[in-house]
Chain A
Amino acid sequence: MNSKSNLQYQNLVGGFESMISKKYARLFSPSELKSVIYGDNHTFMISDLKPYVVYENGNRKLIQYFWQVLEEFTPKERNDFLFYVTSSHRPPIGGFQYLNPALRVKFSDSLPRTSLPEAGTCFNTLYVPNSYSLNDMREKIKTAISLNDGFFFA
């Protein structure tokens, strides 16, 4: 585990240690250090994602419903949503403009209104029945993303 980039890590750690002595470092656990450096309630802003989403077969109403639902999400729901569609809990470093392919919402008339939205994570695509009401959009997206084994295909 240590052979690659060893010297580089040694230097990074050396610099860190020059500021935080071993005596204090010993008081932290790695997960506590992670909370300090990164925080544990991390999520992205919907406004960061919105400009980089593409749509297929949508209309203004459906797209509006979609964003209304996403704007209501808690931080956890946002992360779950991202994971559901892209298999990643985090946006790409640098922002969603680097998400490749771009996140896509495809409104489908072949998916019945009763079904949950489906994800094609290879293509960062969410398939949403175009018969959804606002309430369907809300309930079914939330349900889908909260399931750990969602309706994946491809």
Chain B
Amino acid sequence: MEEIWREALKSEYSLFEETDKGEVIISSSSKEDPQTLNTFFQLGRILGKAVLLGLSLDVPFADFVYTKLLMRKPVEGDLKSLDPTLYKNLQWLQNYDGK
């Protein structure tokens, strides 16, 4: 199972990409055709199966991916792991007191 994921992470498939921090997210250039979407579905199943079996897959997903997997509402830390610049700018806006 680990091998399937390791294969899926290869850049030639454009399924996943690495953030600046070296974490894994779905690639913004990944396709939306049925075959690709099914590939994601199957990879998700493998991920779930690995969790059930207690197998560590060794894939360094960004924090917000775990939030999505558990279908939680995103929290502040998730935006930070997705787009640190946007997060920083939004924080600045939030704290700006208009002076």
Contact B71 A34 (CB under 8 A): no
Q: State which of A13, A31, A37, A90 has its C-beta within 8 Å of the C-beta of B71.
A: A13
Measured in the bound complex, the distance between the Cα atoms of B19 and A92 in whole Å is 11
Cβ contacts B50-85/A at 8 Å (1 or 0 each): 111010111111011111111110100011001100
Q: Is the CB of B58 within 8 A of A39?
A: yes
Q: Which of A27-84 contact B (CB under 8 A)?
A: 28-31, 33-34, 36-39, 42
Q: Which residue of B lies closest to A22 (CB)?
A: B71
Which A residues lie within 8 Å of B46 (CB)?
15
Q: How far is the CA of A37 from the CA of B69 in the complex (A)?
A: 12
Closest Cβ neighbor of A29 among chain B residues: B70
Question: In the docked arrangement, what's the CA distance between A110 and B94, Å?
Answer: 47
Check A19–B67 contact: CB distance below 8 A: no
On whether the beta carbons of A16 and B27 are closer than 8 Å, the reply is no
Q: Which residue of A lies closest to B29 (CB)?
A: A5
Q: Is B22 an interface residue (CB 8 A)?
A: yes
Chain A, Cβ-Cβ closest to B63: A30
Residue from B30, B32, B48, B71 with most neighbouring chain A CB atoms (10 Å): B48
Q: Which residues of B contact A12 (CB under 8 A)?
A: 26, 40-41, 43-44, 47, 68-69
A1-29 at interface with B (beta carbon < 8 Å): 1, 4-5, 7-9, 11-20, 22, 25-26, 28-29
B50 CB → nearest A CB, Å: 7
Q: Is the CB of A8 within 8 A of B56?
A: no
Given contacts A11-B44, A42-B58, A93-B60, 10 further A-B contacts (CB under 8 A): A9-B65, A13-B44, A16-B44, A17-B48, A18-B48, A20-B48, A33-B51, A37-B47, A38-B58, A90-B21
What residues of chain B have their CB less than 8 Å away from a CB belonging to chain A?
9-10, 18, 21-22, 24-28, 30, 32, 36-38, 40-52, 54, 56-61, 63-72, 74, 78-79, 82-83
Interface residues of A (CB under 8 A from B): 1, 4-5, 7-9, 11-20, 22, 25-26, 28-31, 33-34, 36-39, 42, 88-94
5 A-B pairs with least C-beta separation: A15-B44, A19-B48, A30-B66, A11-B40, A15-B41
25 contacts between A and B (CB under 8 A): A7-B37, A8-B26, A9-B40, A13-B69, A14-B41, A15-B42, A15-B46, A15-B47, A16-B44, A16-B45, A18-B41, A18-B45, A19-B45, A19-B48, A25-B70, A25-B71, A30-B69, A30-B70, A33-B66, A34-B66, A37-B51, A37-B57, A39-B58, A92-B18, A93-B22
